[in-house]
Amino acid sequence: MHHAVPTKRSESMPSQALNDVLVLDLTHYIAGPYCTKLLADYGARVIKIERPDGGDPCRRFGPFPDDVPHPEKSGLFLHLNTNKESVALNLKLLRGRQLFMQLVAKADVVVENFHPRVMPALGLDYPALRPVNTWLLMTSVSNFGQTGPYRDWRAQDLTLYGMGGEMYTSGATGREPLKQAHNLTLYQGGAVAATATMVGLMGVRRHGVGQHIDVSLFETQASSIDRRMTSLLAYQYTGDNPGPGDPRPVGILPAGIFRCQDGYVDIRCTMNWWPRLVAMLEMPELNDDPRFGTEEARLNPANRAPFMQTFHDWLQRHTRQEIVRKAQKVRLPGTAVNTPAQVLTDPHFVERGAFVAMTHPVAGTWKLPGAPSRPGLTPWQIRRPAPLLGQDTERVLRELLQLTDTEVHELRQTGVIV
């Protein structure tokens, strides 16, 4: 087992923070795999246990190159499963569960995101695993947690975002609530689960005993700092229950997203920043125009249309980057609204290595997101691309369980592994 104090390494061999941790990954789709991806990216050895008949269903999710579906070319799967090994093991068979139990005896962590009924039904829930490995940390990620009235409910990202508390304030006045950010709740829940797992590991090593961590995706949203917690606390103090609304500009001043010569920019101006706006536009004559020259005039909605015409004409004469540089020069909030292609080629992100190239034996070369954080002494690394289904099965079973050629052949013949 991996519970020894790490040995000191030379400065020429940087050690990753979690490189003495062995994780058995029973996750699928997004939230669970994102949790284990974070663990793997910081050094943990993550062995992804996949069903032999197709593996993680995320393999069937796009995007795909040229929009041609292929189980080894899913961009989403490649992103969520870098640095992992794949073992195709049939847990519906008794022999498959026995092999998994043998792996549990050598593991530090098990992460799963099945429906709460699944692991107990397989005889693989925490009470069943703990006698095999009292040091084991098990993290379970589910929609509503392992207990409670909603325990058995199914959900998706839209459901969790709506129930979590803040979707009712999203969107335009007079329209239905609007969900924002694709799969936001799943990625945030995965990040919370990874954090909880690393904290749990510290507890195991300090107290010498394992535990079960219950992560509810719904609760990660209800307590999120993304407006929800502020809204919940404010309601308890004031009883205020704000509804959806558009950002309201102050008088004639621009506040929002605007089209320019080569795309869009986001400009935010308040009354105190009028001098900065005039300086950015390089139009001092605006101060001499009676429609704009006084604060009272700038607050008059009747003057907004003529000013916005002038502003839009200026925007059409400048590119996104020109506008950003001019806004920065006068300290006015303004930024380019980037397309995905523009993000990948942005010189700042390129210099920092925010996206890294990874070559996959089937999918080819992809650019994937780089380090979400950058420890100085325990670096983030991509050591290997996302695995082919079952590509590590035989090697892992031989290495960790010392299976013989005959045993491996028998397992393959009986459908326990592929």
How far, in Å, CA of 64 to CA of 73, rounded?
A: 6
The H-assigned helical ranges of 335-374 are: 340-345, 347-352
- Exposed, middle or buried: residue 269 (CB in 10 Å: 0-12, 13-18, 19+)? buried
Q: Which CATH number characterizes residue 338's domain?
A: 3.30.1540.10
Residues 86, 217 within the same domain: yes
Report the greatest alpha carbon distance in the chain.
92
The answer to whether residue 356 sits within a structural domain is yes
DSSP letter at 200 equals H
Give mean pLDDT in consecutive 10-residue pieces for the chain, a chain of 418 residues: 42 74 97 97 97 96 93 96 98 98 98 97 98 98 94 86 68 67 86 97 96 94 68 72 60 92 94 95 96 94 95 97 96 93 90 91 91 83 94 97 96 95
The answer to whether residue 243 sits within a structural domain is no
16, 40 Cβ separation under 8 angstroms: no
The answer to whether residue 239 sits within a structural domain is no
The answer to whether residue 159 sits within a structural domain is yes
Residues 219, 281 within the same domain: no
> What's the confidence (pLDDT) of residue 6?
40
369, 66 Cβ separation under 8 angstroms: no
Of the CA atoms within 13 Å of residue 410, those in its CB half-sphere come to 7
> What's the confidence (pLDDT) of residue 74?
96
What DSSP string runs through 271-305? GGGHHHHHHHHT-GGGGGSTTTSSHHHHT-GGGHH
The answer to whether residue 241 sits within a structural domain is no
Q: 300-318: per-residue pLDDT in tens?
A: 999 999 999 999 999 999 9
Residues 290, 365 within the same domain: no
> What's the confidence (pLDDT) of residue 14?
62
Residues 328, 356 within the same domain: no
Q: Which residues contact 302 (CB under 8 A, 6 or more apart)?
A: none
How far, in Å, CA of 29 to CA of 155, rounded?
A: 13
Of the CA atoms within 13 Å of residue 204, those in its CB half-sphere come to 26
Containing domain of residue 65, as a range?
A: 22-227+352-413
> What's the confidence (pLDDT) of residue 321?
93
Q: Where would I find the beta strands (DSSP E) of 73-135?
A: 84-88, 109-112
The answer to whether residue 212 sits within a structural domain is yes
Q: Which CATH number characterizes residue 400's domain?
A: 3.40.50.10540
pTM: 0.87
> What's the confidence (pLDDT) of residue 229?
65
416, 55 Cβ separation under 8 angstroms: no
Q: How far apart are the first and last CA of the chain?
A: 26
Final residue of a domain: which of 323, 343, 363? 343
The answer to whether residue 94 sits within a structural domain is yes
> What's the confidence (pLDDT) of residue 34?
97
> What's the confidence (pLDDT) of residue 246?
52
Residues 359, 339 within the same domain: no
The answer to whether residue 124 sits within a structural domain is yes
User: Strand, helix or coil at 141?
Assistant: strand
Residues 159, 41 within the same domain: yes
How far, in Å, CA of 107 to CA of 25, rounded?
A: 10
